[in-house]
Amino acid sequence: MTRSTPPVTADVRMQAIWRVVASLPAGVVATYGEVALRAGFPRGARQVARALRLAPVSARLPWHRVVAAGGRIALPLGTSAFREQCRRLRAEGIVVERGRVQFTDRSLDALLWGPDRC
């Protein structure tokens, strides 16, 4: 009999995603795709969005540090959530112009640590 790897459950995926998001330091942004890759789910950007949407408030995740590809704020323009994300990012020194963050040399790879960085 051949043993197979058990499927990854949604709870395990969400917890892995939440750990990556929780590790993002202030002043750093990551795309949904970067978070998915770090959590072990390449091509899982939509899973990241879903996990953030379903995260309990008590988790106090820095959700505002996660943006869409190219630095675009994924929330609908003009909504209170969009304005709140912009406000939080600016408070951390991140430049937001026309609904996009301006990436700098302080990229996720430069500042995020992990076992592969040792």
The closest of 43, 40, 38 to 65, measured between CA atoms, is 38
Q: What is the pLDDT of residue 5?
A: 55
pTM beyond 0.75: the answer is: yes
Would you say residue 4 lies in a domain?
no
Would you say residue 2 lies in a domain?
no
What is the domain count for the chain? Answer: 1
Nearest-5° Cα angle at 66, 32 to 101: 110
Where the chain has pLDDT below 70, the residues are 1-10, 104-118
Would you say residue 86 lies in a domain?
yes
Q: What is the pLDDT of residue 117?
A: 42
Q: What is the pLDDT of residue 91?
A: 97
- 93: buried, middle or exposed (CB in 10 Å: 19+, 13-18, 0-12)? exposed
Cα separation of 52 and 63, whole Å? 7
CATH number of the domain encompassing residue 36: 1.10.10.10
Q: What is the pLDDT of residue 104?
A: 62
Would you say residue 108 lies in a domain?
yes
Read off the tokens for 60. 């106090």
The whole domain housing 99 covers 10-117
